[in-house]
């Protein structure tokens, strides 16, 4: 993972709850992402995980007491917040939500939150029983937090430690990490709706065979992630990949080029999209005479005769709509990228086309891109796909403003 949080100081507050066990994993993940993590715990939190564990994982002294003499001026609620880039409370209990909503200052963590500079974002991840979450008093307090500009992460629905099921389960460590990273990214696409395709398509020959390509979907998923981090409302239409369902936005699964085309057109007709990014490596042809049953090998000289038919051109059709979104296409070539990329952008009639050498990037974690527009082309040097995705999203955001 790239050091997305390099140089960032995060004050990580723990309150009482079984979900404290997830914070051990989150603390390690934050450190791997480059963050300097300063842990502050309530006394209730120490009933679920020890300060020794959190100190070992964070590499920093853990603070519990607002009268901690280890701080030179005996004001840890001031000192700990002054050089923080953000404060995260996870798990955030029902009681601590009440404290934040009412400005209570009866321990180090609550006092630190009230004393934080207005420029320091505060994120909270609720964790509680379903009935506690649904209680009208809790909902009033959560509404007050949101009104005060505090970002509420989750909660999710699922099994709970008490044996009940419902809303109130804290987000998982990887989901919290995604939210924390997103919180520091500039919201250049706030209020924008993006529709993105990713991955390969699979065109059946018979029920067990088909024609596909080597696209892993990693570039498309990275672009969708970067767009979500930039504040966009993202819908991802994905061909068959081995990638996990993304956090933060919806994924529609398809198999064939026709299914992908249909899904794109349904989305565009039902929801206005500001930007369409066609990253998927869509098959140009499908097998017109695909068999309903597995084709058997009867003899060495008896070979199936496959008949091919063109698939719909998703990018060109979207670009030709009467009210088309800003269209970004992808071209995966094997040679002559500058020549073919320039020609493809004109043929598809799109303002921006992104080219790469397909066999040099399919399935890999790195890529290099060439952006083609009316002014010529721009090279984005080789980097990990998430870095390139953020660069591309920044380019798109600048162009549509």
So what's the pLDDT on residue 360? 67
Question: Which of the residues 92, 105, 113, 162 is marked catalytic?
Answer: 162
Catalytic status, residue 20: no
> Per-residue pLDDT for 184 more than 90?
yes
Q: Is 83:9 a contact under the CB 8 Å cutoff?
A: yes
Look up the domain containing 180 and give its range.
9-184
Among the candidates 184, 203, 220, a domain finishes at 184
Judging by DSSP bridges, how do beta strands 352-357 and 326-333 pair with one another?
parallel
* Residue 94 and residue 243 in one domain: no
| Cα torsion angle, 287, 291, 294, 299, sign | negative
Give the integer Cα–Cα distance in Å for 41 and 15.
6
14-34 tens-digit pLDDT: 999 999 999 999 999 999 999
> Is 131 a domain residue?
yes
154 & 287 share domain: no
The pTM score is 0.89
Q: In total, how many domains does the chain have?
A: 2
Check whether residue 146 and residue 232 sit in a common domain. no
d(CA 387, CA 369): 11
On the question of pLDDT at 1 being above 60, the answer is no
The CATH code of the domain that includes 14 is 3.40.50.1950
- Kindly state whether residue 36 falls inside one of the protein's structural domains: yes
CA distance 269 to 262: 11
Q: Which of 116, 151, 184 is the last residue of a domain?
A: 184
CA distances from 227 to 20, 220, 224, 396 (A): 30, 11, 5, 10
Per-residue pLDDT of 123-136, as tens digits, reads 999 999 999 999 99
Answer for the pair 260, 201: CB distance below 8 angstroms, yes or no: yes
Instruction: Report how far residue 158's alpha carbon sits from residue 165's, in angstroms, rounded to the nearest whole number.
Output: 5
- Picking from 401, 400, 383, the residue whose alpha carbon sits closest to that of residue 276 is 400
370 or 74, higher pLDDT:
370
Do residues 381 and 241 both lie within one domain?
yes
């Amino acid at each position: 993972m790239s050091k997305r949080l390099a140089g960032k100081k995060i004050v990580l507050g723990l309150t009482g709850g079984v979900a404290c066990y997830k914070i051990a994993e989150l603390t390690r993940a934050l450190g791997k992402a480059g963050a300097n993590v300063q842990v502050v715990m309530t006394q209730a939190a120490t009933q679920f995980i020890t300060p020794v564990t959190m100190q070992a994982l964070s590499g920093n002294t853990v603070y519990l007491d607002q009268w901690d003499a280890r701080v030179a001026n005996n004001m840890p609620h001031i000192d700990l917040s002054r050089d923080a880039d953000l404060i995260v409370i996870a798990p955030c209990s029902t009681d601590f939500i009440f404290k934040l909503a009412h400005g209570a200052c009866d321990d180090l963590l609550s006092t630190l939150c009230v004393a934080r500079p207005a420029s320091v974002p505060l994120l909270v991840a609720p964790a509680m029983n379903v009935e506690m979450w649904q209680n009208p008093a809790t909902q009033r307090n959560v509404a007050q937090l949101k009104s005060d500009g505090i970002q509420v992460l989750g909660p999710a629905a699922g099994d709970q430690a008490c044996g009940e099921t419902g809303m109130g389960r804290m987000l998982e460590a990887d989901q919290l990490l995604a939210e924390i990273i997103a919180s520091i990214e500039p919201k250049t696409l706030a209020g924008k709706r993006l529709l993105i395709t990713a991955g390969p398509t699979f065109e059946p020959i018979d029920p067990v065979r088909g024609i596909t390509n080597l696209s892993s979907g990693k570039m498309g998923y990275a672009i969708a992630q970067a767009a979500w981090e930039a504040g966009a409302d993202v819908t991802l239409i994905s061909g068959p990949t081995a990638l996990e369902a993304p956090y933060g936005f919806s994924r529609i699964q398809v198999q064939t080029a026709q299914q992908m085309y249909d899904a794109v057109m349904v989305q565009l007709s039902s929801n206005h999209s500001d930007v369409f990014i066609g990253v998927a490596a869509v098959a140009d042809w499908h097998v017109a005479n695909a068999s309903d049953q597995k084709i058997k090998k009867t003899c060495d000289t008896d070979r199936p005769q496959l008949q091919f038919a063109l698939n719909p051109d998703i990018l060109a059709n979207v670009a030709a709509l009467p009210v088309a979104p800003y269209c970004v296409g992808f071209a995966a070539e094997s040679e002559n990228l500058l020549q073919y990329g320039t020609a493809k952008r004109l043929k598809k009639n799109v303002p921006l086309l992104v080219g790469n050498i397909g066999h040099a990037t399919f399935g890999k974690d790195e890529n290099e891109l060439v952006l083609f527009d009316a002014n010529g082309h721009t090279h984005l040097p080789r980097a990990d796909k998430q870095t390139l995705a953020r660069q591309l999203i920044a380019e798109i955001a600048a162009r549509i403003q």
